[in-house]
A and B are shown apart, each in its own frame.
Chain A
Amino acid sequence: MQAQDQVQGRETVQREGASFRDPSGHVYLLGDRVLRSVSRAAAADYEFVRDSGLLDDLAREGQAVATKEVAPALLGAAEPPAYLLEHPKLAYISYPYEWSFSALKAAALLQLDIHLKALERGVTLSDASAYNIQFIGSRPVFIDVLSFVRYEEGAFWSAHRQFCEQYLNPLLLTARRGVAFNAWFRGSLEGIPTEDLNRLLSWRDKLSWNVFTHVCLQAKLQSAAQASKKDDLEVVKKGRLSKAAFRNMLTALRQWIAGMTPPGRSTTWGDYADKNSYSDNEGAAKRRFVADFVDDVRPQLLWDIGCNSGDYSALAIESGARQVVGFDFDLMALDAAFARATAKDLPYLPLYLDAANPSPGQGWRGLERKSLGQRAKADAIVALAFIHHMAIGRNIPLDDVIDWLIGLAPQGVIEFVEKSDPTTQQMLQFRADIFDGYNLTAFREAVTRRAEIVAEAVVTDDRRRLIWYRRKA
């Protein structure tokens, strides 16, 4: 499954590492261009879907990426594909295990909406992979146009199980049990198995008709089927699902998922912002510094490391950042940030990140899902109230934390929080202070070893300091 390289002019065509499961086509990168081949076997389905007008409709509504046909010879392959399509390149690729509850929910609803729309035009989806959804800002978009195939009257929803494992079950785990799905999803790339979730849900959860059927009954039927002889299951293959029943299933799932919320989590960012207001002097000084930095750098892509509910991400967008990807460990804050981004239609995507254990390259050959570092590079970073969480909270040497941060982007703003600060004091309350090397001098030395300090500002009684670094060439 080695990506095959072909030289086309001076640029190299490279096959995308995640694009191998579906034989109907593959994704290639040619410089900055994203190309998708359509195999001869899949050509008839593609033509049907294209001629139905579905792709144009979805692209116009912003529900799917735009698609245009280009010359198949562009791929430079000995045997050109039936069609070659081109999509606009996305600013940032993210994976469902990095999404907050609200983001996964938004993706699930889009998946169902698109399927309902497709059925109206005699088209269905051959899969329900959450990896086929990406975000432009906080707006989910469908990216795999070859998942659309001609619908045959009476056909099953072949991706129902996949939909459950990749959308429904993770959402239920959080909504019903209050457990974050991210770590499990990251370890189990195909999602959360229905049989496993069924063991975790309480009998009270199972009183719901939806939980009972989609989780409990499906799990029981699956194990019953596994215990049966192959010949006895032939009867199942002969079953059919009417289009009306198919639509009912999709509509009922949509309605159910639309009403899901994680327990005890505020659904509007306004509530969250009120409780964590930055209206004091400290906030004002910090905001001015960050705004000046962003205004000067004008980054295409800015990463807000430790974004919380997105105060400074929103400020960065106001100050001239084209796209902001925020990272935080606090899922509740991420949901608030996502709600803020959606409410204000910001080009902002808040993602889950444990900076001490960022997303690795994984899947087949470790290339299917890219590590954090293998994806788009940031033009600038903002890391406010972050490094003490790493250096003291997680025992990572200060110099190492700075090395990692400065390695992420050529320019950025980093906040240093002194040990005397109440938040740092709280971290040290029940443990010995083994952090002799954590001080302003060491911080400045760590930065100047790798970058020049463009500007510096003191906020709050000398306990917090902001520096603007520019990496040495």
Chain B
Amino acid sequence: MAGVVNSDRRISQFLTPALDIERKDMTLRKLGFLVFLSAPLLGATTGDAFAYLDPGTGSMILQIIFGGVAGLMVVGKLYWAKFKALFSRGSGPSTDAEDATPDRH
């Protein structure tokens, strides 16, 4: 998991452009910021299971962002369910868990 620590340090570099003496170019900074948006999801590695197709870096970063948005929605729904539970009696915690299922629209 050394690679993960390494990547987290890189992200923090992008977030402190003023202190960055090397002055990374703008595009990279923007890229770093977008990856940062989904930083909570960077915890695990999946290996190079990309088979014979080049997935395209743009698509991969986009998916990290999608993952981030979906992740935020899950968290949001979870807190919303807990918030509602404060004001309603009788609805058990299992119902709340169901409300928080991300792929129910």
Contacts and interface: CB of A to CB of B under 8 A. Distances in A.
A225 B11 CA distance: 15
B53 A240 contact: no
Q: Kindly list the 9 A-B residue pairs having the minimum CB-CB distance in the complex, ordered from nearest.
A: A222-B58, A225-B57, A161-B56, A245-B70, A221-B58, A161-B59, A239-B64, A235-B7, A158-B55
Contact of A126 (B10, B53, B56): B53
Contacts of B59: 156-157, 160-161, 164, 218, 222
A70 interface: no
Contact of A228 (B28, B42, B70, B102): B28
B64 A241 contact: yes
Chain B CB count within 10 A is highest, among A127, A158, A220, for A158
A229 B13 CA distance: 15
B48 A242 contact: no
Nearest to A163: B59
Given A239-B35, A239-B41, A240-B46, A160 B70 contact: no
A224 B63 contact: no
Contacts of B47: 152
Contacts of A244: 70, 74, 102-103
Contacts of A204: none
Contact size range, A: 35 or more
Given A149-B51, A161-B59, A214-B62, A235 B103 contact: no
Contacts of A127: 51-53
Interface stretch (A246-254, A334-342, A454-462): A246-254
For chain B, what secondary structure do more than half of its interface residues adopt (helix, strand, loop), or is it mixed?
Answer: helix
Nearest to A162: B53
Contacts of A225: 31, 57-58, 61
A236 B64 contact: yes
A21 B53 CA distance: 9
A239 B50 CA distance: 13
Interface residues of B, number: 48
B63 A249 contact: yes
A271 interface: no
B18 interface: no
A410 to B, nearest CB: 42
A248 B66 contact: yes
A288 B83 CA distance: 72
Given A224-B27, A251-B103, A235 B35 contact: yes
Interface string B1-44: 00110110011000000000000010110111011001001111
B60 A156 contact: yes
Contacts of B35: 235-236, 239
A159 B58 contact: no
A126 B28 CA distance: 29
Contacts of B53: 126-127, 158-159, 162
A348 to B, nearest CB: 33
Contact of B52 (A22, A160, A227): A22
A201 to B, nearest CB: 16
A154 interface: yes
B11 A221 contact: no
Contacts of A126: 51-53
Contacts of A158: 49-51, 53, 55
A439 interface: no
A153 B46 CA distance: 8
Interface in A257-306: none
A234 interface: yes
Contacts of B89: none
Nearest to A239: B64
Nearest to A242: B67
A79 B27 CA distance: 51
21 contacts: A127-B51, A149-B51, A152-B47, A153-B46, A156-B59, A157-B59, A160-B56, A213-B62, A217-B65, A221-B34, A221-B61, A222-B59, A224-B27, A224-B30, A225-B61, A228-B31, A237-B45, A240-B44, A244-B70, A245-B63, A251-B103
Interface string A205-220: 0000000011001111
B71 A245 contact: yes
Nearest to B38: A239
Contact of B31 (A21, A224, A248, A249): A224
B63 A221 contact: no
Contacts of B54: 161
A157 B63 contact: yes
Given A219-B58, A221-B58, A251-B105, A241 B48 contact: no
Contacts of A245: 63, 66-67, 70-71, 102
B31 A217 contact: no
A194 B58 CA distance: 10
